[in-house]
Amino acid sequence: MRRAGVTVEDKGASIALHYRLAADRQRARDVVAAALDKLGPDLTVFGGKLVVNVVPSNAMDKAGALKQLVARAGSDCAFFAGDDVNDEPVFAAGHGDWLTVRIGRDDPNSTAMFFLDSPREMAAMLDRMVGALGRS
């Protein structure tokens, strides 16, 4: 995989196979596909922005994880920002008291509440939120 320009990121509960830096992205995708073709039903594969993710089939998605985190914290609200395919379950599951922000406008079907054009806008948005909270 390394020769094809694929880097492997061990995320603990999952593995991400990144090919953003590959000289030939199609070849990198083909190498990843060939390697993952041998996986059994205990693993789920899904794509993202120049990455292929591998997770256990019984793993919860980010929406389930955020629901658990909110419950453990004893909170009734959450803030979540994301920019990729695996963030969409959070946007779709978002309750009225969850503030969800999609970074990038590359998915016209996204169900996020709000959108930013780029990650550079995140700091300004957070500054405005903190200022608004300070006034209330």
Domain ranges of the chain: 2-56, 62-135
> Which residues are within 8 A (CB) of 8 and not within 5 positions of it... i.e. 6 or more apart?
1, 15, 16, 17, 18
List, as one string, the DSSP characters of 24-92.
SHHHHHHHHHHHHTT--TTEEEEE-SSEEEEEETT---HHHHHHHHHHHHT-S-EEEEE-SGGGHHHHH
- The pLDDT tens digits of the residues spanning 10-61 come to 999 899 999 999 999 999 999 999 999 888 889 999 988 899 999 999 999 8
**CATH class for domain 62-135?**
alpha beta
pLDDT for 74-122, tens place per residue?
998 999 999 988 899 999 997 788 999 999 998 889 999 999 999 999 9
What pTM was computed for the model?
Answer: 0.78
